[in-house]
Structure 1
């Protein structure tokens, strides 16, 4: 991943804002409790964490990424925004992360994954781990590419080809996997297609 993002990280946020729709909608939905812990899986440059930390100043924010190159940019961004006391970062693998090992946390109140699952090969494991670390009343929030259900077929073919060229693979099986995880872990599931299926949004809530 460092080979992929060593250079690309410097203009990652500028390019992504044009097609990663629904990220700020997700952040607005987090609503963590005062003093609550919020974790981003695959935090990249920490763009989402800085927006969330400003929106919810009473919460504590944590993020990890497998790419040390991305984390180098993330640390600089967090410091630039004056949020070093609000956001902690670590290197970790989404498929097998442990919040206790990474941050000394037994559970967290909110977990979010923003356009991460389409880039992580073991994406199902990431969902399972994210759900498993939720505190009572906690929630896991996801936004990622959908399947263009109500958009022209040519648009899907064109966009998916361009995404695949950058090792990004929208997960057609996501609704079924979310349903399975919800059943296995006794969670409530909310699933919402966005922008005519361009993106999918989901929330798993611990009862």
Structure 2
């Protein structure tokens, strides 16, 4: 696990500089996942994003839920430096932490845990993180996932594997088994080169 954490952190030393300029073109479902959370806009909720990257989702969530308290966790100091700039306008409503999820207790039990294009990069520990999320969520809490799902093309799977991404439909069955699905959709991207998933589930 420690070796994988270092690999991911090193990978994003370069990627952090181009992340927001490039990822909008293929990280689909991120805006949708914010809209699909089953809370009123004025709700006093706590949200944790695991693998928050440059803070794109945190900023979206902070705007959508003006009374929410948010925490972003990531391995990459380079990504968090950008996230700090991107969320500065929200003051102390957004807290950023450089740490691997699951290796230390949280200071509170979040109402929402969001994984956005993070789980497919965490191999083989992604199941452990879902188990931990189920334990960490508050009663009635929500898990939200936007991520790659699958591809029928071996060349694309190999390409994504070179970027530390597993894409073989492995997430959705486990998500649906461990959480009560409120939304579970698979959508095609780029004329079916790959599919992505949007999942919102309730803690059992």
The two structures share one fold, judged by TM-score above 0.5 = yes
Query: What is the deviation of 1:5?
Result: 1.2
1:202 alignment partner, SS class? strand
Q: Report Cα offsets for 1:119-145 as digits up to 9, x if no partner.
A: 112111111111221112211011111
Question: Given the alignment, which residue of 69, 73, 78 partners 1:69?
Answer: 78
What stretches of structure 1 move > 3 A for 4+ residues in a row? none
TM-score normalised per structure 1: 0.83
Alignment partner of 2:201: what SS? Answer: strand
Gaps of 5+ in 2: 1-7
Aligned match of 1:120: 122
Q: Deviations over 1:22-49 (max 9, x none)?
A: 1110011124452210110110111110
TM-score relative to the length of structure 2: 0.84
Cα gap change, 1:96 to 1:194, in 2 (>3 Å):
farther
Q: Does 1:138 align with 2:137?
A: no
Structure 1 stretches of 5 or more lacking a match? 183-187
Aligned length: 189
What aligned pairs does 1:177-196 form with structure 2 within 5 A after superposition? 177-182=174-179, 188-190=180-182, 191-195=184-188
1:116 and 1:171, CA in 2 relative to 1: closer, same or farther beyond 3 A? Answer: farther
Partner of 2:61: 52
- CA-based RMSD of the aligned residues comes to 1.9
Note if 1:173 corresponds to 2:133: no
SS of structure 2 residue aligned to 1:57: coil
**Is contact 2:33-2:200 (8 Å) kept?**
no
1:169 is paired with a residue whose SS is coil
